[in-house]
Structure 1
Amino acid sequence: MNLIKSACLAVALSATTAFVAVAQDYESGLQAFEKEDYLTALQEWRPLAEEGNVEAQYYLGIIFDNGYGVEQDYKEAAHWYEKAANQGDAYAQYNLGVMFEHGEGVQQNYSRAVELYRSAADQGDAQAQNNLGWLHQNGRGVPQDYAEAVKWYRKAAEQGDTYAYTNLGFMYQQGYGVPQDDAEALNWYRTAAEQGDARAQTNLGFMYQQGDGIPQDYALAHMWYNLASANGDERAADFRSNLAKQMTPEDISRAQSMATECLNSKYENCG
């Protein structure tokens, strides 16, 4: 009996020691990663990943996906994301879903992207919820279903996903899956715009230009187009140029000052 107990204790101690060693190797890799010493992180994590450590598998995917310290390799990234995703890691499922949606490192497959996004979305991943909404909105990998799109956008928005705010605004503006409601669209666009989302800023500018659900205001429209253009929405510069033809130099100057004030206040004072 004592021999059996001693043997069991030895096994338990051995397992505990191994667990501690794995944890230490993972933490060493994480510390190196945070210091941008990616090669050291890779050296620490690869053996763990090959042994099935899900966190190490996910981070190897990140390293190859972004080319951190190595040549960017989408195929290798997908390989490691797949391993982590198969163990239920929501972040890996989301990232692999993106790769299948866009055909990066894998053959483009919207149906597979839907599966992966849904798995991550069901675990509460807001980005996956938003992307799942987009695929339902556009009928990619699933039949087009506006109501289902709104459902997932709303779940993501409830978690503060800025892109979901913008997408919900669009659905209300167009009346897709919900009753058409300019006021509700404005609310969602403004929330996203004040967080710096360029597409929301452009759409908000357009609503001010047209007077949709709000008094027409060219200066505010110009201001939002200006901000959207600075944030990378190529449509906004054209909209701003066309709108400027209908404005006086004084109004344009005022709109530019408003845009500066909006930025300087970090979107706290935007007209």
Structure 2
Amino acid sequence: MKQKAAKKPQKSLYNPRKSKVSIAGAAWFHEGLISALAGRQEEAAQFFQVGAELGSAEAQVALGYCFQKGEGVEQDLEQAVSWFRKAAEQEFAGGQVILGYCYHKGLGVEQDLEQAVSWFRKAADQGDGEAQAALGYCYNKGLGVEQDLEEGVSWYRKAAKQGYAAGQSGLGYCYMKGEGVEQDVEQGISWYQKAAKQGHAEAQFNLALCYENGTGVEQDAKQAVFWYRKAAKQGNAKAQSKLDELVKKKKKHADQ
């Protein structure tokens, strides 16, 4: 049975006096990573907790994920937020962006879109690509901030240039629709392709749509099916619906 809280290893192993607290915390974090990669989730959570209590922001985020997902400990969303916040308050971008997502989704904390934007911005200003893409999305949709399509494009572009798939997909969408930037279908396709090749499901779906309809590319049913299937395998319901639709059409033509 999973524990409510992660336990520390035996006291004989827990001796932070041997090195500076920050270095010790990082060491416990790395021990936790080794355990997690080996599938020893409870042990990993124990190591992460030691590192987190020693002030390692990385360990605090890792422990927060354990509580959020219920890996090695009993799931506790509020406890997860507590650890994410500790990391975020150390100005650790990884903690800031995940705390932003918690506020955005209302996970372990009351939903607050303005707070979400605030934390995304802190991480984005540090150059975090995930946060930049999230902030771009908020500006594009007007979530927690006044809608500003050009500002949305600006943040998407920052993330895209770092190779972050969500930024590439968002930027592709803006070019396709002409939102915050002059419409440029070729540019849109190019960014969709970059994100799709990295496994971004929404980009794969949108790229498939383009191949199905011949938007910005030569119409190609095989390529459409290829990318719909990629997206569907990741749980994209729209892609699965499209696949089912194409199978029905193919069967109908075969019966005629």
- For residue 161 of structure 2, what is the amino acid of its counterpart? E
- Contact 1:29/1:42 (<8 A) preserved: no
Residue 245 of structure 1, CA deviation: 5.4
Q: Which residue of structure 2 aligns with residue 125 of structure 1?
A: 128
Question: Identical aligned pairs, as a percentage?
Answer: 39
Q: Which residue among 153, 161, 165 is the counterpart of 2:168?
A: 165
Cα distance in structure 2, aligned partners of 1:121 and 1:111? 15
- For residue 142 of structure 1, what is the amino acid of its counterpart? V
Q: Which residue among 185, 189, 199 is the counterpart of 2:188?
A: 185
Mean Cα deviation higher: 35-44 or 91-100: 35-44
- For residue 75 of structure 1, what is the amino acid of its counterpart? E
Cα distance in structure 2, aligned partners of 1:41 and 1:240? 40
Q: After the TM superposition, which residues 101-120 of structure 1 pair with which residues of structure 2 at under 5 Å, given as runs?
A: 101-120=104-123
- For residue 197 of structure 1, what is the amino acid of its counterpart? H
Cα distance in structure 1, aligned partners of 2:243 and 2:51? 53
Q: Which residue of structure 1 aligns with residue 230 of structure 2?
A: 227
Q: Which residue of structure 1 aligns with residue 159 of structure 2?
A: 156
Q: Deviations over 1:156-211 (max 9, x none)?
A: 11111112111111111111001111111111111122222222222112112222
Cα distance in structure 2, aligned partners of 1:119 and 1:62? 20
Q: Which residue of structure 1 aligns with residue 103 of structure 2?
A: 100
Residue 56 of structure 1, CA deviation: 3.8
- For residue 205 of structure 1, what is the amino acid of its counterpart? A
Mean Cα deviation higher: 90-99 or 45-54: 45-54
- For residue 30 of structure 1, what is the amino acid of its counterpart? H
Unaligned runs of 5+ in 1: 1-15, 252-271
- Contact 1:130/1:153 (<8 A) preserved: yes
1:78 aligns with 2:81: yes
- For residue 88 of structure 2, what is the amino acid of its counterpart? A
Q: CA RMSD in A?
A: 2.7
Q: Which residue among 123, 139, 155 is the counterpart of 1:136?
A: 139
- For residue 129 of structure 2, what is the amino acid of its counterpart? A
- For residue 72 of structure 2, what is the amino acid of its counterpart? G
Q: Which residue of structure 2 aligns with residue 30 of structure 1?
A: 30
Cα distance in structure 1, aligned partners of 2:112 and 2:57? 24
- Contact 2:28/2:50 (<8 A) preserved: no
1:60 aligns with 2:37: no
Q: Which residue of structure 1 aligns with residue 149 of structure 2?
A: 146
Using the size of structure 1 for normalisation, the TM-score is 0.77
Report which of the two structures shows the higher radius of gyration computed on alpha carbons.
1
- Contact 2:24/2:51 (<8 A) preserved: no
- Contact 2:129/2:158 (<8 A) preserved: yes
- Contact 1:100/1:107 (<8 A) preserved: yes
Residue 217 of structure 1, CA deviation: 2.5
1:194 aligns with 2:197: yes
Gap change, CA 1:138 and 1:25, over 3 Å in 2: closer
Gap change, CA 1:156 and 1:249, over 3 Å in 2: same
Using the size of structure 2 for normalisation, the TM-score is 0.81
State the secondary structure of the residue aligned to 1:35.
Answer: helix
Moved over 6 A (4+): 248-251
Cα distance in structure 2, aligned partners of 1:219 and 1:41? 44
Unaligned runs of 5+ in 2: 1-15
Cα distance in structure 2, aligned partners of 1:214 and 1:40? 51
Q: Deviations over 1:15-73 (max 9, x none)?
A: x9564466346414531442134544554554664464434433332322222210111
